[in-house]
Amino acid sequence: MKNEDLQNIINGFAENIEFSEEGSEFLNVIVPKEELHNVCSQLKSKSDLDFDYAFCITGMDWGKELGVIYHLESTELKHKIVVKVMTDDRENPTLDSVCDIWRTAELHEMEIFDFFGIRFNNHPNLKRLFLTPDWDGWPLRKDYVDEDNMIVK
């Protein structure tokens, strides 16, 4: 399916969805955080979309906002998209979990929590995945400072 066709279908899922291709072969869909779970659920359940595989889920720090980028694929229909969601709350960043939609998201969300501090509502077992439970801070945030281990030139 062409990106234009994907956009026409997805556009009706929620208000304030934005689209771009940003020099990419994939359609980029920017979703308001309040609509994330609803939109993702429809992306998977609609038979003409059938995004059944979340092949990459990445945390991001854009400076003012924190967020998540979801790379999704329909293994049956052979199309892919990128879904982006952001929050400007750096003190208590929270997004809805999608691990009930794509099981693979469970570990990705734990990793994102571990390194960016983004909490996921309704995640079944949100905890640090790589760092020790007593680790202080979120090391992949742009404002993270670790004076013991960082080399500043």
Q: 88-142: per-residue pLDDT in tens?
A: 999 999 999 999 999 999 999 999 999 999 999 999 999 999 999 999 999 999 9
Nearest residue to 83 (alpha-carbon basis) of 92, 91, 96, 93:
96
CB-based burial label for 17 (10 Å; 0-12, 13-18, 19+): middle
CATH code of the domain occupying 3-89: 3.30.460.80
Tell me what pLDDT residue 21 has: 80
Domain residue ranges of the chain, discontinuous segments joined by +: 3-89
Can you give the pTM of this predicted structure? 0.93
